[in-house]
Amino acid sequence: GFGMTTPATVAGKVFLIVYGLFGCAGTILFFNLFLERIISLLAFIMKACHERQLRRSGLLPPNFRRGSAISGVGSLVGWKPSVYHVMLILGIFAITLSCCASAMYTAVEGWNYIDSLYYCFVTFSTIGFGDLVSSQNAVYQNQGLYRFGNFLFILMGVCCIYSLFNVISIVIKQVLNWVLKKFECRCCPKCHKSSARLGRRNAITPGARLRRHNISMETDGQYDSDTEGRRLSGEMISMRELTASNKVSLAILQKQLSETANGYPRNVCINTRQNGFSAGVGALAIMNNRLAETSDSR
């Protein structure tokens, strides 16, 4: 949104709002699809390079085919490329694309090279200040070819920078997790003691009351803290425990339906389960599923 062309009438502004809802949603979907394809392509190429390196080092037999199970050190089952390698490749591609686009803008628009690089970053990152805007002159030499090249550079640049930003966000997430783990290690005894004493009082899991009932029978009928003086009974079930049991059953059923619809069970690694920013939505989910989490190795 450089702001060089804006709606002036009320009907145009209303149309912009309605069309923008679907247009922006479709654009985000397009960026996510591009991100998924580019990450899949990079993962395929990097896996082939990794397989070739293992073959040279002798960890894989020469007649190894993809899809065949191999036990040992050279197994490629579940191998994923590192986030840092993907970030490096996307960064090099983004810099190369910006340099090529800046050369075109310098030659056609008459800007200096630094201003052209600045315009590329502002445009590709969708900031759009509007201080520098391309294709604003009335006549250009080879105007149609220049506008087509401008369109391609902006489209590829925005997709590339969008993918790079998502990879950088995962790296920032890993750095934050590493910093949080360092803080936990320093105040570990105090935090664990306080967390052991302070628990969520009304949090009830299925079977918790039955276990507490058995403990209370062994200890000559002590009172439960959640019921505040009421004795537990194995014959009655509370409404809260029934609700909690139904929630767990619904969660399991929802997971089974999701696995059936996708055609395969979703495998979640241990590192992402322990991660404070695990899973994710949209682009983060794509990156977490297709790239290796390397925050534990920091």
Query: Looking at residue 143, which CATH number applies to its domain?
Result: 1.10.287.70
In a domain, 216, yes or no: no
Query: Quick check: is 17 in a domain?
Result: yes
Res. 288: pLDDT tops 80 = no
Structure token digits, residue 246: 């139904």
Amino acid 297 reads S
Q: Measured in whole angstroms, how far is the alpha carbon of residue 276 from the centre of its chain?
A: 13
Task: Give 229's DSSP letter.
Answer: S
Q: Is residue 287 part of a domain?
A: no
| Cα separation, 102 vs 116, whole angstroms | 5
Question: When comparing pLDDT for 111 and 240, which is higher?
Answer: 111
3-state SS, residue 82:
strand
**Cβ–Cβ contacts within 10 Å for residue 269, how many?**
14
Tokens of 271: 């590192």
pLDDT of residue 81: 86
The distance between the two most distant Cα atoms of the chain, rounded to a whole number of Å, is 95
Asked whether residue 173 is domain-assigned, the answer is: yes
What count of Cα atoms within 13 Å lies in the side-chain half-sphere of residue 23? 6
Domain membership of residue 208 (yes or no) is: no
What is the value of pTM for the model shown?
0.65
- Residue 123 lies inside a defined structural domain of this protein: yes
Q: 82 versus 10: which is more confidently predicted?
A: 10
| pLDDT bucket at 183, cuts 50 / 70 / 90 | confident
Q: Is 70 contained in some domain? A: no
Token pair 């934050």: residue: 176
Return d(Cα 281, Cα 268) in angstroms, integer.
Answer: 15
Name the residue range of residue 121's domain: 10-56+81-185
| Number of compact structural domains in the chain | 1
Three-point CA angle 295, 45, 274, nearest 5°? 20
Across the range 100-129, mean pLDDT stands at 96
Residue 235 above 60 pLDDT?
A: no
Domain assignment of residue 166, yes or no: yes
* Rounded average pLDDT over 125-138: 92
